[in-house]
Amino acid sequence: MPAIEVRVPGGSTLMVEGEAVFELLEGEAEVFGINAGPGFKAKVDLYKAAPVYTLKDSLLRIEGGKAWAEEGDTVPQSWRSLAEKIASEKPGKVMVIGPVDVGKSGLVTFLLNRLLASGLRVAVVDADTGQSDIGPPTTIGLGIAERQVVMLGEVPLYDAFFVGLTSPSGLLQRSVAGVALMAEKGLAAGADVVLVDTTGWVYDPGGRDLKLAKAAALQPDLIVAIDPGRSLSHLTRFLSKLYRVEVVEPAVKLRPRSREERREIRRSTYEKYFVGARDVELSFEDVVSGYSFVFSGEPLPREELEAIAGLLGVEVYYGEESGDSLVVFTDTPVPQAGVELLSSVYDKRYVKAFTGPELLHTLVAFGDREKLFRGLGIIKSVDPKDRRLVVYTPVEPSSGMYVQLGYIKVNPSTLEEEGWIERWSL
Ligand SMILES: Nc1ncnc2c1ncn2[C@@H]1O[C@H](COP(=O)(O)OP(=O)(O)OP(=O)(O)O)[C@@H](O)[C@H]1O
Ligand SMILES: [Mg+2]
């Protein structure tokens, strides 16, 4: 990759956008609250930017990506005072809210670096299931910081909660439960301060509800609102009746990211979490999922499968039953009339009939009691006759693990998202 050397006068900010690597060759700078001297080197993720604020005339070497200069410091003074306040008062749970592209994740990175510098143990909960920094997309990740970072994604993943989709829309309860749980785990792991980064979904009714419910479940000791100009008062006026709220300014001069860039960022994040993945075979009986009808029930005995086959006039390879649901895998598709017949004969409200391809490319998660999240997988093939499926995953599945079905399809070769799965359609 071609490298360039740039001289930057003291008192300005060199924005480095990834994918890039930069190194400070001469001078002195500050990067998201990290004091950097000659030899300081860091990686910048795809389409993310790192502000290098020069305290003296400096020389930088940049490899890849893009770079441009801004006048002055892009970290607002209010972020600095906030960091000092948090360092001295040590509120256990800090929730950061704000609209999209105002620097929420940048503020969390800055706070993390400043708090580590004052000797605190810091954890981060990344509640953004779309633009995930900690943990892969579709999860709420918990990271425990071991050292200062330029990119939040460098914070090692400690555990995560699988929401199953990149958007919290329609799945608010999962996001709320996940955030509260991850924050508790962060405190239990010894963090003095848990910083909770949230989505920029704050204006719609769903987003408003989500922020309020997250606060109710989390019981934050401090809420930090990044408000570009009283646009968050619908949340802060109410929340300040219940919690301590600090309002800070947005980061200076951020470049908004396009939908396409956000998608590409997700693809590169999946890539990181599928390193070392290979095909793993699982038998239907070993798959236990909670977000779907399929693989949530009790496998049916052979006589029952034969009875269903008699009713439908097709071969039935596998079946499951639970309180109000019946799931069958057949050799040929079952017409609607057949589904209705099963529904009335078995007195089940939810009847799902599959031949196998319906499940292809579904994103799944593995986890167990010890680690709620062990990793992701993608269903690569389904063989109903042999009652087996192949999952592409870096996880070594064991009998103690669940295999939760998500609501998104991801191509196992390209790691591109292929589309959402209708909720509870599987
Ligand atoms: N103070 C800052 N100075 C310069 N760049 C910043 C600053 N804060 C954040 N950035 C960079 O600007 C970009 C957008 O900021 P960031 O990701 O923090 O926004 P966000 O509010 O979390 O966005 P989203 O709504 O997508 O989660 C990122 O590349 C980030 O690294
Ligand atoms: Mg963010």
CA-to-CA distance for 44 and 109, rounded, in angstroms? 13
Residue nearest to atom 16 of ligand 1 (CA): 103
* Residue with the two structure tokens 């196998």: 356
Same domain, 210 and 97: yes
Average pLDDT value over all residues in the chain: 96
CA-to-CA distance for 234 and 246, rounded, in angstroms? 15
- What are the φ/ψ torsions at residue 259 (nearest 5 degrees)? -55, -45
For ligand 1, say whether the CB of 251 is within 6 Å of any of its atoms. yes
Q: What pLDDT, on the 0 to 100 scale, is given for residue 37? A: 98
| Residue 255 predicted with pLDDT over 90 | no
Q: Closest-lying ligand to the alpha carbon of 226?
A: 1
For ligand 1, say whether the CB of 105 is within 6 Å of any of its atoms. yes
Same domain, 222 and 338: no
User: pLDDT (tens digit, 9 = 90+) per residue, 144-153?
Assistant: 999 999 999 9
Which tokens belong to 274?
A: 């599928």
Q: What pLDDT, on the 0 to 100 scale, is given for residue 256? A: 83
For ligand 1, say whether the CB of 102 is within 6 Å of any of its atoms. yes
Same domain, 352 and 268: no
For ligand 1, say whether the CB of 224 is within 6 Å of any of its atoms. no
Instruction: Indicate which CATH number applies to the domain containing 11.
Output: 2.60.120.1030
For ligand 1, say whether the CB of 266 is within 6 Å of any of its atoms. no
Residue nearest to atom 31 of ligand 1 (CA): 49
- Say which residues have a Cβ less than 8 Å from residue 331's Cβ, sequence separation at least 6: 314, 315, 317, 355, 384, 385
| Residue 190 predicted with pLDDT over 80 | yes
CA of residue 219 to ligand 2 center, whole Å: 21
CA of residue 384 to ligand 1 center, whole Å: 46
Which helix (DSSP H) or strand (DSSP E) does residue 143 occupy?
strand 139-144
Last residue of some domain: 71, 96, 129?
71
Cα angle at 316 between 315 and 318, to 5 degrees?
Answer: 150
Residue 364: domain span: 274-426
Same domain, 144 and 64: no
Between β-strands 402-410 and 417-420, what pairing exists: parallel, antiparallel or unpaired?
antiparallel
CA-to-CA distance for 186 and 93, rounded, in angstroms? 10
Same domain, 241 and 279: no
What 375-380 contacts at long range (C-beta under 8 Å, 24+ apart), as own/partner pairs, is 375/273, 376/136, 376/138, 376/270, 376/273, 376/274, 377/277, 377/280, 377/403, 378/410, 378/411, 378/412, 380/279, 380/412
Instruction: Indicate which CATH number applies to the domain containing 210.
Output: 3.40.50.300
For ligand 1, say whether the CB of 70 is within 6 Å of any of its atoms. no
CA of residue 225 to ligand 1 center, whole Å: 14
Which among 370, 372, 426, 366 has a CA at the least distance from the CA of 402?
Answer: 366
Q: What pLDDT, on the 0 to 100 scale, is given for residue 257? A: 85
The residue whose CB lies within 8 Å of the most ligand 1 atoms, and thus the one to mutate among 47, 96, 105, is 105
CB 115 within 8 A of CB 90: no
Q: What pLDDT, on the 0 to 100 scale, is given for residue 252? A: 83
Same domain, 197 and 248: yes
Confidence of residue 407 (pLDDT cuts 50, 70, 90): very high
The 3-state DSSP composition of the chain as helix, strand, coil percent (nearest 5) reads: 25, 35, 40
Residue nearest to atom 5 of ligand 1 (CA): 51
CA-to-CA distance for 41 and 25, rounded, in angstroms? 9
CA of residue 128 to ligand 2 center, whole Å: 7
CA of residue 12 to ligand 1 center, whole Å: 18
Mean pLDDT of 1-23: 94
Same domain, 169 and 201: yes
Last residue of some domain: 220, 237, 272?
272
Q: Provide the residue type at 143 as one letter.
A: G
For ligand 1, say whether the CB of 296 is within 6 Å of any of its atoms. no
CB 244 within 8 A of CB 215: no
Last residue of some domain: 21, 52, 71?
71
User: pLDDT (tens digit, 9 = 90+) per residue, 339-349?
Assistant: 999 999 999 99
The domain tally of the chain equals 3
> Quick one: what percent of the chain has pLDDT higher than 70?
100
Q: What pLDDT, on the 0 to 100 scale, is given for residue 228? A: 87
Same domain, 262 and 288: no
Q: What pLDDT, on the 0 to 100 scale, is given for residue 230? A: 77
| Residue 239 predicted with pLDDT over 90 | yes
Same domain, 231 and 338: no
For ligand 1, say whether the CB of 104 is within 6 Å of any of its atoms. yes
Same domain, 192 and 313: no
Q: What pLDDT, on the 0 to 100 scale, is given for residue 78? A: 97
3 state DSSP class of 336: helix
For ligand 1, say whether the CB of 101 is within 6 Å of any of its atoms. yes
Same domain, 295 and 415: yes
For ligand 1, say whether the CB of 46 is within 6 Å of any of its atoms. no
CA of residue 104 to ligand 1 center, whole Å: 6
> Quick one: what percent of the chain has pLDDT higher than 90?
94
User: pLDDT (tens digit, 9 = 90+) per residue, 280-325?
Assistant: 999 999 999 999 999 999 999 999 999 999 999 999 999 999 999 9
Q: What pLDDT, on the 0 to 100 scale, is given for residue 169? A: 86
Same domain, 239 and 341: no
Report which ligand 1 atom has the smallest distance to the Cα of 102.
21
Which among 92, 90, 89, 52 has a CA at the least distance from the CA of 74?
Answer: 52
**Is the link from the previous residue into 19 a cis peptide, with omega within 30 of 0?**
yes
User: pLDDT (tens digit, 9 = 90+) per residue, 31-50?
Assistant: 999 999 999 999 999 999 99
